[in-house]
């Protein structure tokens, strides 16, 4: 009898947990193709596809809203959307993040082929001028460089919509020393604009940076969804699916 009661309790607990999961969640993002894409012939981005498939197994529909990045974070904090789809650790203050990363990205510097400037460490940033997108986290030491008000005159700042494409054209024309973004994102943007990668010079990278999902603390089901995602993101078969999607979007 005790054994039967134990099984019944486990089943009821499982039902209670399943019942607490929402039927739909809305996650904000910005144009960061191939991770998340608003206007790509290949689809909504490999991360959007990946998380959609994971949540579908739990009967949760994912709605992705593409917004300016700073607005996406503000709306998540306010609970206007359930959370954000891709976020670095430095962008998750005031939000509830997953603890298992969705994947990693690798921010690299790009210059004109004529430039000799190369990134090696924080000291490389001294006296340089850089093109950046407003509100983005690039990783250290670049985030600290951007945050230092003394460096504001050495930053050319563009907004997210078409910002990277504009910066790539400007760096080709040697309007500043370098711009930077994830390697896959730069290659995707260059293909979109018809820019040959030979027209840009890769000038060093910051290294792999993990990214996560993050949910509004005002969403009642956030903890339950995060638990589901942490479990799923750690599964080897899902990691293999992530890699296949990444390869499809970057070929």
Write out the chain's pLDDT in tens, 251 residues.
Answer: 444 444 444 444 444 444 589 999 999 999 899 999 988 888 999 999 999 999 999 999 999 999 988 899 999 999 999 999 999 988 999 999 999 999 999 999 999 999 999 999 999 999 899 999 988 889 999 999 999 999 999 999 998 777 899 999 999 999 999 999 999 999 998 988 888 999 999 999 998 999 999 999 999 999 999 999 999 999 999 999 999 999 999 98
Q: What stretches of 20-156 show up as alpha helix (H) in DSSP?
A: 46-56, 69-78, 142-147
* Residue-level pLDDT at 39: 82
Domains of the chain: 22-104+211-250 (3.40.190.10), 105-208 (3.40.190.10)
The pLDDT of residue 172 is: 94
Paired residues of 26 in beta bridges: 63
DSSP 221: T
Q: How far apart are CA 69 and CA 78, in angstroms?
A: 14
Query: Going by C-beta distance under 8 Å and a sequence separation of 6 or more, which residues neighbour residue 67?
Result: 28, 29, 30, 75
Radius of gyration, CA atoms only, the chain: 21
pLDDT of residue 38: 87
Report the predicted TM-score, pTM, of the whole model to 2 decimal places. Answer: 0.85
- pLDDT number for residue 159: 84
pLDDT at residue 20 in the model? 84
Contact in structure between 184 and 205 (CB atoms under 8 Å)? no
Cβ neighbours, 10 Å, residue 168: 21
Q: Which helix (H) or strand (E) holds 25?
A: strand 24-29
């Amino acid at each position: 009898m005790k054994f039967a009661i134990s099984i019944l309790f486990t089943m009821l607990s499982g039902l209670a947990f399943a019942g607490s999961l929402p039927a739909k969640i809305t996650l904000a993002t910005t144009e960061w193709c191939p991770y998340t894409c608003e206007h790509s012939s290949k689809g909504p981005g490999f991360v959007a596809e990946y998380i959609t498939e994971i949540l579908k197994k739990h009967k949760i529909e994912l709605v992705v809203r593409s917004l300016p990045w700073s607005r996406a974070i503000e709306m998540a904090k306010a609970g206007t959307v359930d959370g954000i789809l891709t976020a670095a650790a430095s962008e998750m203050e005031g939000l509830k993040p997953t603890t298992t990363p969705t994947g990693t990205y690798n921010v690299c510097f790009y210059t004109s082929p004529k430039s000799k400037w190369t990134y090696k460490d924080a000291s490389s940033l001294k006296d340089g001028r850089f093109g950046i997108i407003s509100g983005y986290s690039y990783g250290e030491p670049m985030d600290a460089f951007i945050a230092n008000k003394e460096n504001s005159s050495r930053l050319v700042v563009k907004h997210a919509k078409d910002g990277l494409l504009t910066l790539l054209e400007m760096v080709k024309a040697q309007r500043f020393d370098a711009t930077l973004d994830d390697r896959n994102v730069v290659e995707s943007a260059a293909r979109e604009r018809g820019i040959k990668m030979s027209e840009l010079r890769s000038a060093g990278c910051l290294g792999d940076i993990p990214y996560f999902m993050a949910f509004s603390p005002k969403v009642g089901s956030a903890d339950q969804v995060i638990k589901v995602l942490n479990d799923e993101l750690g599964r080897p078969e899902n990691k293999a699916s992530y890699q296949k999607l990444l390869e499809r979007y970057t070929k």
